[in-house]
Each structure stands twice: as C-alpha cells, then as structure tokens.
Amino acid sequence: MTPTILSNFFQISLHQKIIVIAIPMILSNVTTPLMGMVDTAVLGHMQGTYFLAGASVAALIITQLYWLCGFLRMTSTGLSAQAKGSKDKDQLSQSLFQGIVIGFMLGCILLLFKDGILALGLYFANATPVIEEVISEYFSTRIWGAPAAIVNLALIGWLIGQQQAKQVLLIQVFANLLNLALNLWFVFGLGLEVFGVALASVIAEYFIAVVSLFVALNIIGKPIIQKKWFSIAYLQPLLSLNGNTFFRNLILQACIAFLIFKGVGFGSTSAAINAILMQFFTLIALGLDGVAYAAEALVGEQKGDKNAKGIIQVTLHGLLWSSVVAVFYSLVFVIWGTDIISIITDQKTLQLEMQDYLIFVYCLPLIAHWCFFFDGVFVGLTRAKAMRNSMLLCALAVYFPAFWIFLSYANQGLWMAMLLFLFFRGISLGGYFIYLCRYHRLTS
C-alpha cells in the first residue's frame, strides 16, 4: 500500500459517498420484500387457507424466475458506473438501452414458455386440486409482469451505477404503497380475490419500470439511440458478461439448494433449523448488500475513469464499512440472538435445538461479508468471469468436499461447509484483487 493511498484512507468525502449509497440501498432492500408481504397479508385475510397456500407457491415460482435473471442487475450496475466514470454519453445510453432490450427479451421468453413453466411448477408442488387452481390463477396473471420486472433489474442496476440510491429507494417505497392500495381495492372493494392480488403486483412492476425509465432519461438528457448497439457484435460482450454472471448465480443457488434438501434428509427439526438460519442469512444480506452496492457504483466509476488508485481507495474504504456492518450484526446476534429466535418460532424444542447453532449465527456475518463485498468490487470492475471461477472453484474444491468431511456432524456439518465456502470465496476474490493490483490490471 503506497503512502498516498494510506494518507487518503480516511477521506471523509469517500466515506460519505459510501454511506449515501449504502443506507438508501439497505432501506430499499428492506422494502423490496414488502410487496410479497402485502400479498401474503391480504391473502391471509381471505376465507380459506388454500388461497394463501396456492399463491405463496406461485409467488415462489415467479421469484425464482426473476432471481435467475438477477445477473442483469449486476452487469447493468457495473457498465453504468463505468460509463459515469468515463463521462462517455454514448456509453451511458448504450448501457441503459442494451439492458432494457435484453430484459424485455428475457421477459417475453418467460411469457412464451409460461405454460410449460406452470406445468413444471405444479408437478413439483404436488398440491391438491383446489390449491393447484389458485397456483394457476396467480401465476397466469403475475407472469404478465415479467417483461417489466426483468427490465426493472436493468433499470435499477443502471440507476445504482449512477449513484441514484435515494431515487431507487423512493421508487420502491411508492411502488409498495401502490401495491398495497391496489390490493385492498381489488380484493376487498372489487372482490377479485387471487386475481386481484396478482394484478396489483403486475401494475406495481410496470409502475417501477415507467418511473425508473423516466428518472434514467432525465439523467441522460436527450438520448441518441444507435441501431448498431443492438447488433451481435455490440451485444456479444454484454451477453458474455451476463452469461458468466448467470452461471455464477446458478452455482450459488445450487449450493443453497443442496444445503436445504440435505437438511430435510436429516429430519424435520434440521429442516426447520435451516429455515431459521436462512432467515438470519437473509437479514445479514440486507445490510451487507447495501455496502456491496456502494462498492459496485464507486469502483465502476473509478474504472471508467481509468483510476487504479481510486479503485483501491474505494475498496479499502468500503471494506472498512463492510467490516463495521458485519461486527454490528455479530454483536446484535450475540446479545439478542436468542430473542430473535423466539420471535421467529414459539416452539420450545426448536428454540432449544437452535442454541447449538448460535455459533454459526455469530460467525456468519464476520465470514460472509468478505465475499459479499468483493462481489460488489468485481461487479464494478465487470469481471464476471473471475466471480464465476471463484464460485465454481469454491463449490467444487471446498463446499462439497467439506460436507463429506463433516458428514458425521450431520446438519451442523452442512453449516460448517457453508462457512468454509463463504470464507474461501472471500479469500479467492480478495487474493485475485491483490493480483490485479500488483500487476496493474485493475483498469484493463
């Protein structure tokens, strides 16, 4: 670390930039699940539990489809941030409209295969005929929001890259308020039941798309769209970037699915414990992702400006804040972990069993924040191939072998393997970042 970088480590302005992006994004992360919670609350007040059961399954199918397309948000953020740093208006417009076009195409593909996706979902759900009818009605309505929902991934990612975190937060808040109002009107006013709940979410998704596009166009000014941006030659690098990020997400999802299904194999208590631990994991992600988003935007901006020292400074400052958030989480869990478990479940046996897993809860933020943060750094650098390789290497060389080594520890062995997986992901990404620094390849 050079003396110049050391002297700039405590730049107040850079700390402020990180906080200004991170806090709204943390709040936005918290508000995002509210759309699903509003649907759940309204459905929970209908006559018959099958409404809630069926819609929950259908919403899970939709959520998984959108999650698989989450790579578009990450690549849009990195490219948008780099365009901001380079002050290239053409690149700024290109990154926006290419993301929109790809998102719209993905949404249309989902619409094209909606019947097959529904049939597959019903097969795995293995539900009763009444619940199947609810699943079909909710899914068949909600899927029409797919073009807007996936375009939103590109738009929100682009806005994060432009450091418009406050605007993203406001859009999410107003969309949730709209969803709430429409839910109440459609269900209790018009008596549309499940169809009304799904329709409210679709309208909210299109609302987000329209408002986000308006904000983006306001930043760009008068865009000049070039036909060549949508040629194979111009789209190929973006498609490659998205492909690597998609593969990275798929590997992560496979590791999480392996943990969940193996936990079920260890018995119902283990499955319930894992469900609680995943709630802690989600809670941690809400905070750590906020700092990672700040890293994506600020690192990308510095790369666009070809400023290697700036990238290092952003990384050091961001790592400090990521560590602060991780330590805060760990302390909260040490002090109130048992109380949080009591809120999640009132089953005494489960509460007692969870005491043996509290050590995992304490360690999780301290270990996970490294890979969360460096994911953000590499998104900003648009080095999706490195993220893919790190995920694949750590899954095959660490996670699955560790599970077999700790097999005698049953369900606890699963979480030992998961912690090692997260730890080595942080080590591999951090090590590669140091390599890029040493060989002056951060801006290449």
Q: Give the pLDDT band (50/70/90) at residue 37.
A: low
Q: What is the DSSP string of 397-418?
A: IIIHHHHHHTGGGHHHHHHHHH
Task: Inform me whether the pLDDT recorded for 24 exceeds 80.
Answer: yes
Q: What is the pLDDT of residues 158-168, one digit of tens each?
A: 999 999 999 99
Residue linked to tokens 């690149």: 91
On the 0-12 / 13-18 / 19+ scale of CB atoms within 10 A, 45 is exposed
Please state, in angstroms and rounded to a whole number, the distance separating the CA atoms of residues 442 and 213. 31
Q: Give the pLDDT band (50/70/90) at residue 6.
A: very low
Please report, for residues 64, 168, 371, the alpha-carbon distance to residue 154 in angstroms, rounded to integers and kept in the order given: 17, 12, 23
What's the mean pLDDT in 51-79? 86
Mean pLDDT, all residues of the chain? 90
Please state, in angstroms and rounded to a whole number, the distance separating the CA atoms of residues 398 and 432. 17
Task: Inform me whether the pLDDT recorded for 39 exceeds 90.
Answer: no
Q: What is the pLDDT of residues 286-327, one digit of tens each?
A: 889 999 999 999 999 999 999 999 999 999 999 999 999 999
Angle at 270 between CA 264 and CA 271, to 5 degrees: 45
Contact 286, 29 (CB under 8 A): yes
What's the mean pLDDT in 373-382? 97
The least confident of 2-6, 43-47, 50-54, 183-187 is 2-6
The least confident of 19-23, 174-178, 213-217, 344-348 is 344-348
Please report, for residues 231, 243, 344, the alpha-carbon distance to residue 275 in angstroms, rounded to integers and kept in the order given: 45, 30, 10
Q: What is the pLDDT of residues 68-113, one digit of tens each?
A: 898 999 999 999 999 999 999 899 999 999 999 999 999 999 999 9
Please state, in angstroms and rounded to a whole number, the distance separating the CA atoms of residues 289 and 322. 9
Contact 260, 340 (CB under 8 A): no
Residues near 419 by beta carbon (within 8 Å), at least 6 away in sequence: 360, 363, 364, 367
pLDDT for position 30: 73
Residue 436 tokens read as 């890029």
pLDDT for position 36: 60
pLDDT for position 316: 95
Q: What is the pLDDT of residues 129-152, one digit of tens each?
A: 888 888 899 999 999 999 999 999
